[in-house]
Structure 1
C-alpha cells in the first residue's frame, strides 16, 4: 500500500511539473516575427526575396501569415512560407507512453535538444526520400499558434488530468478522434500520393511510442548507455552520437539505405565516410543486396568560441546554412535548444521545440499531420547563439560526398581574422591517427576537447578561438 501511495504522489508531482513547464513555455511563444524586405532570406540552401513595391522597411510574419509583400523572381513570401511550414517540427509532447527507465510521460522542460536532433534528422530523411524541392500540399493551411488559447486549454487539461488521477481513471482514448480526421480521397496523382505516403512514414518513424525507430523513447533508451536518464538535459554533441546509433540500429527496412557518421575532434575523415557509403545494404537473409551504396548523414559537433560565439564565425554559419545539402544546426541558447534552419542579415531563423502538444498515436492509419508542421518561423540574433552546436549534412553517394567535401573545404578556409576553421576534412581513417583513447562521459559530451594522453598532434590539429 505504501509503494502504491508513493507511486501516486510521484505521478501527481510529474503532472504538476509538466503543467508548470507547459504554462512557462507557452509565454515564450511570439506572435510576430519581422523580416526585412530588402535582404535575402536563406532557408536550408534556398534563397527567398521579400522585396515589396511600397516603401515600408519590414515584412511581418504574424501568426504564420506574411503581410503586404510582393514576391520577387526566385521565390517570394508565399514560397518561403510553404517551404518553412513543410519542414518537420518536433516539439514537447505530453501523455505519451512512459519513457524507458522512468515514469515520465512528457519531455516538457528537458527534451528540447533531443527534439532539435529529431528535426535535423527529419530534414535528412526528407532529402533522402523526397528531395529538397518537396513541400507539403497543406503547408499553407496550418492554423496559427495562439498563445492565449493554448494556455487556456493547457489549464483545462491539467484540471481534467488531476481529477482523473484522483478518481483512478485513465484519460480518454485519442484513437477514434485521430481516425475521424482521416486522409483525403485518392484522386491525387500517383506520384503525389507516393510522396504523401513517405511524408507520413517519416513522421511515424519519429513518433512518441516505444516502437518508433527514431522516436523519443528510442533516443532516451540509447542515452542510458551514456549515463543520461529521462529528465536529464542533453547537449548537442551527445545527441549527435545518439542519433547515429538510432539510425544505424534502426530495424525498419525503409531505413536500410541511410546511415550516419559523427566527426571526431572536429575532423571528418574522408576514408571513413566513403567506407560507410560503400557498405552494402542487405536485402534480407536470403535476398540479394538492395544497393551497393548507402546515403550518409554527417554530423559535426563543434564549438564556435568560448563562453559566447566568436563573431568571426558568423559568416561561416551563414555559408553553411546557404548550402543545399546542409540539414541545419542544432544548438540554441544556454540550456534552451533549438533547430537553426536559415538566416537573414544578422539573425538566425530557427524552429522552436519549446511548445508542448498532445500525444499523437502515429500507429493509426491516418493520424493528423498538422501538429508536426510549424507555421511561425522565429528569429534570434547571432550574438545570442550558444557556441556549442552540431552541424549536419546529407550525402547521397561517394560522388556526392567528394563534391561536398570540396565545397565545404572552401567554406572552411580561414580568413585573415578567423585563424582556425570550425572543423576540417582529412584523408584517411580516424583510426590512422590513434583517436581511440578512452573518453569520459564529460568528454563524450565535448568531443572537441582533445585527450592529453592522445598521440602527438597532427597537421589537422587546431586551437579553437
Structure 2
C-alpha cells in the first residue's frame, strides 16, 4: 500500500513552498469562488484539494475482453470528463461549499467516488466510458476528444437515477435557452422497458415539468493553432460565474481540467500521473484512506491562458431553473454584450436556419438516442480530430 501515497507524499515530503498559486493582489477564481491569494492561500488549496482528481491508473480489471489494465497514454481526456462530472455531482449532492479532509467519510461523498472507481460495475468508471465509446466509433484504448467523452457521459448519466442529471452539449456555439429548459423539464423515458423493471420505477414516477439538474457544455474552437487573444477575457470570465464547472481543454499532448484563473494564467488539474488502482470501500481501514487520498491533488498547476489548445469545452452546472436563468443573464451581460467577438451566443429559441429540433427530442429519450455528431451542422468544426491533444 506504500505506492498508494505516491502522488500524495511527493508533495507532502517536500519542504519547498509549492508554486501553485502566485503571491499576487490579482483575485484568484476557482469555479466561481473569488479568493485573495495573499490572505486566502490555505482556503484556496483546501478548495482545490476537495476536487475529485482522476488520473491514469494501472492494475485494474481488464476492460471488456481487451488486455487493457491501465489507461496510461490514452485515457487523459476520459479522466478530465470524469472530473467535470464528479464536480457536478459533488455540487448537486454536497454543495459548492463542501470540503474534503483525509478523515472525510460522508456517505454521499463515498457514493459519488464509488461511481467513478476503476471497476466494471461503477457507472462512470473508465471501463464503462471506454466500452460506451464504441457507440461513438471509438475502440478501447483510442484517444477521445472532448465532444466524444461528453457524449458518452451523457449516455451513461441516464442510468444514474440518484442524480437524475441532464447533460446537454450545446453545438453551433450557441446556447438555446428554451431548448435547454425543455430538456430539463422533459419526462425521462428510457428506450428499453427492461430498464424500468431493473430500477423498480414506473412511468408515473417520471413526471414532466420538474427541473432536473443541468450540466451544460459548450464546445468551442477559439483559434486555429493557438487561442486568439480576443477570447482571453471571455474565457477568464467563465471561471467567475457561480455556475462555473471549469473548462476541459489542454495543451499539446495533454488533456487538462481547468478549474480557475488568476491574472493571465489558468489553474488546472493534470491527469497525467499514473497511480495504482484501488478501492475506497467504506474508508474504514488505513489502506482505504490511503486510496482516497490519491483522488485529491495537493497542489494545482497553472499556465498562461494563451498556451492552452484553442479547442475547449466550457462547462456549467445549474441545480435549479433559477440558477440557469441567472447564468443566462450573466452570459448576456458579461460575455455577449461587452465583447466584440463573444465566446458563444445566447438565443431564446432555436434559429430557423438550424436543422429540426431532433437532437433535443432524442436526447430526452435516453441513453441510446443521441444523433451522431457528424449529422449536426456547426459554425466551427469541433470534431475529435481537431482536438487530438491527448498524451
Tell me the distance in 2 between the aligned counterparts of 1:132 and 1:442.
32
Residue 437 to residue 296, structure 1, CA distance change in 2 (3 Å) = closer
SS state of the match for residue 220, structure 1?
Answer: helix
Q: Which residue of 1 aligns with 2:186?
A: 279
Cα contact 2:56–2:273 (8 A) shared by 1: yes
Tell me the distance in 1 between the aligned counterparts of 2:243 and 2:269.
18
The answer to whether 1:42 aligns with 2:29 is yes
Tell me the distance in 2 between the aligned counterparts of 1:129 and 1:136.
14
Q: Which residue of 1 aligns with 2:177?
A: 270
Q: Which residue of 1 aligns with 2:386?
A: none
5 Å-filtered alignment, 1:3-402, equals 32-51=19-38, 71=39, 76-100=40-64, 102-138=66-102, 196-248=106-158, 250=159, 252-255=160-163, 257-280=164-187, 284-285=201-202, 288-289=205-206, 292-362=210-280, 366=284, 367-368=288-289, 369-402=292-325
Number of aligned residue pairs: 343
Between 1 and 2, higher relative CO (CA 8 Å, sep ≥ 6) is seen in 2
Higher Cα Rg, which structure: 1
Q: Which residue of 1 aligns with 2:195?
A: none
Residue 263 to residue 98, structure 1, CA distance change in 2 (3 Å) = same
How much has 1:410 moved relative to structure 2? 1.9
Residue 294 to residue 32, structure 1, CA distance change in 2 (3 Å) = same
Tell me the distance in 2 between the aligned counterparts of 1:77 and 1:45.
16
Tell me the distance in 2 between the aligned counterparts of 1:441 and 1:278.
23
Cα contact 1:349–1:379 (8 A) shared by 2: yes
Residue 432 to residue 205, structure 1, CA distance change in 2 (3 Å) = farther
How much has 1:327 moved relative to structure 2? 0.5
TM-score for both structures, normalised by structure 1: 0.67
Residue 448 to residue 204, structure 1, CA distance change in 2 (3 Å) = farther
Residue 121 to residue 387, structure 1, CA distance change in 2 (3 Å) = same
TM-score for both structures, normalised by structure 2: 0.79
Cα contact 1:113–1:235 (8 A) shared by 2: yes
Residue 358 to residue 98, structure 1, CA distance change in 2 (3 Å) = same
Tell me the distance in 2 between the aligned counterparts of 1:106 and 1:445.
34
The C-alpha deviation readout for 1:192-217, integer Å capped at 9, x for no partner, is: 96xx1111111111111121111111
Tell me the distance in 2 between the aligned counterparts of 1:364 and 1:440.
39
The C-alpha deviation readout for 1:197-256, integer Å capped at 9, x for no partner, is: 1111111111111211111111111211222122211111222212211212x2x4313x
How much has 1:376 moved relative to structure 2? 1.1
SS state of the match for residue 268, structure 1?
Answer: strand
How much has 1:129 moved relative to structure 2? 0.8
Cα contact 1:302–1:389 (8 A) shared by 2: yes
Tell me the distance in 2 between the aligned counterparts of 1:435 and 1:286.
27
Cα contact 1:414–1:420 (8 A) shared by 2: no
SS state of the match for residue 136, structure 2?
Answer: coil
Tell me the distance in 2 between the aligned counterparts of 1:121 and 1:425.
23
Tell me the distance in 1 between the aligned counterparts of 2:187 and 2:248.
30
Q: Which residue of 2 aligns with 1:173?
A: none
Tell me the distance in 2 between the aligned counterparts of 1:320 and 1:203.
26
Residue 113 to residue 286, structure 1, CA distance change in 2 (3 Å) = closer
Residue 128 to residue 285, structure 1, CA distance change in 2 (3 Å) = same
How much has 1:449 moved relative to structure 2? 3.0
SS state of the match for residue 38, structure 1?
Answer: coil
How much has 1:286 moved relative to structure 2? 7.6
SS state of the match for residue 20, structure 2?
Answer: strand
Residue 34 to residue 258, structure 1, CA distance change in 2 (3 Å) = closer
Cα contact 1:294–1:396 (8 A) shared by 2: yes
Q: Which residue of 1 aligns with 2:388?
A: none
Residue 298 to residue 105, structure 1, CA distance change in 2 (3 Å) = same
Q: Which runs of 5+ in 1 are unaligned?
A: 1-21, 52-70, 139-183, 185-191, 452-465
SS state of the match for residue 89, structure 1?
Answer: coil
Cα contact 1:280–1:289 (8 A) shared by 2: yes
SS state of the match for residue 123, structure 2?
Answer: coil
SS state of the match for residue 392, structure 1?
Answer: strand
SS state of the match for residue 298, structure 2?
Answer: coil
How much has 1:317 moved relative to structure 2? 1.1
The answer to whether 1:449 aligns with 2:370 is no
Q: Which residue of 2 aligns with 1:406?
A: 329
